[in-house]
Amino acid sequence: MTGLLPALFLILLAGTMIALAKHRARNRRLLQLPPPPSWIRILDTNLPMASKLDKEQKQRLFGAMHLFLEHKDFEGCGGLTITEEVKVTIAAQACLLLVGRDTRVYPRLKTILVYPHTYSSGRQGLFGGDNGPGERLGESWNSGVVVLAWDSVLGGAKNMLDGHNVTLHEFAHQLDQEDGAGDGVPILEQRSAYVDWARVFRHEYEELVDKTDRGRKSVMDRYGATNPAEFFAVATETFFEKPKQLEAKHPELYDELRSYYGVDPGSWI
C-alpha cells in the first residue's frame, strides 16, 4: 500500500500539469482571436474611444477581453439582465487599462455584479464611487468582486472626456489590490520605480487634499482626496479621460501613470 502512494502522487501531478498546459494553450489562443462583429458594433456605439487605439493596442484590447469574458462571471442585480452589451462594454473599459502592460487579466477578480442604476450598500469602508451615505456607483472588493451601476458604466463609456468613469475607477482599484493591499501603490515592474512613485504620488495627493480643503478646483475630482487608494483611482480616470489637461497641470504624475499603463492617452484625443 505504501508503495502505491508515490505512484498515485505522480499520476495526480501529471494530470495537473496536463490540465495547466491545456489552460495556458487555450489562453494563448484567446489572446490571438479577432473580435466578433457584434463587439465592434457595441463598441462603436458605447465606447468610441476604442477606435482611437492603434492596431497593436486594439489586438491587445480584444485579446484581453476574450480572456476577461472567458474567466470572469457576471451577475445581474436589482432586476438587471446581463446581455452581451453589458459584458462587452464593461470588459472593454476594464481591459483598456491593460493594453500597454504585460500582465495577467485581473487574476484576483472572480465576479462582476451589475445593478441597473445607483444602488444602496451596507458595506462600510470600501473603495469606490460613493454617492452619499450608502448610495454607490461602484465598489471594488478585495475578495475578487467588482460592483457597478450599469447606467453609470454606459454614461462613462460614451463620454470619455469628462474625467469621470466608474469602470476605470473600480478596475484601477483592482490593479491596486493585486498585491493584497489597496493603498494607492500597485505592483510596479521594477523595485527602483517605487521611490519615484511614492515621491510623486505623495506630493500630488497632498496637493489635492490641500486644494479640496481650501475649496480650490483641480483637474482631478476632489474624491481623490479621500485617501491614497482613491487618489490613484481618480488619477487613473483623469489620465485616460483628460490626458492633455493632466499632463499640462501635473506633468510628473502624468509621466508616472504613462510609465505604469504603458500608453499615452493624449495621442487618442
Digit-coded pLDDT (tens) for 52-101 = 999 999 999 999 999 999 999 999 999 999 999 999 999 999 999 999 99
Mean of pLDDT values over 136-164:
94
What average pLDDT does the structure give for the chain?
89
- Note the pTM of the prediction, 2 decimals: 0.87
Pick the closest to residue 96 from 267, 262, 230 (CA basis). 262
The reply to whether 54 falls in a domain is yes
pLDDT of residue 20: 53
HSE of 112, CA atoms in CB hemisphere, 13 A: 28
The reply to whether 22 falls in a domain is no
**Amino acid identity of 216?**
R
* pLDDT tens digits along 17-28: 565 555 566 667
pLDDT of residue 121: 74
Spatial distance between the Cα atoms of 166 and 140, rounded to a whole number of angstroms: 11
Res. 132 pLDDT band, cuts 50 70 90: very low
Please tell me the total number of residues recorded for the chain in this structure. 269
Spatial distance between the Cα atoms of 200 and 194, rounded to a whole number of angstroms: 10
* pLDDT tens digits along 170-213: 999 999 999 999 999 999 999 999 999 999 999 999 999 999 99
Res. 30 pLDDT band, cuts 50 70 90: low
What is the separation, in whole angstroms, between the first and last Cα of the chain? 69
Specify the number of domains making up the chain. 1
- The residue range of the domain holding 248 is 31-268
The reply to whether 9 falls in a domain is no
Spatial distance between the Cα atoms of 211 and 209, rounded to a whole number of angstroms: 6
Is the four-CA dihedral 46, 169, 74, 53 of positive or negative sign?
A: positive
Output the furthest CA–CA distance in the chain (Å, rounded): 76
Contact 85, 67 (CB under 8 A): no
Residue 190 is part of a domain; what is its CATH number?
Answer: 3.40.390.10
Q: Is the pLDDT of residue 130 over 80?
A: no
Is the four-CA dihedral 157, 120, 141, 228 of positive or negative sign?
A: positive
Q: Give 227's contacts (C-beta < 8 A, 6+ positions apart).
A: 184
Q: Give 9's contacts (C-beta < 8 A, 6+ positions apart).
A: none
Least confident range of 29-33, 139-143, 200-204: 29-33
Phi and psi torsions of 11, nearest 5°? -65, -45
In the block, cell 467588482 appears at 146
The reply to whether 19 falls in a domain is no
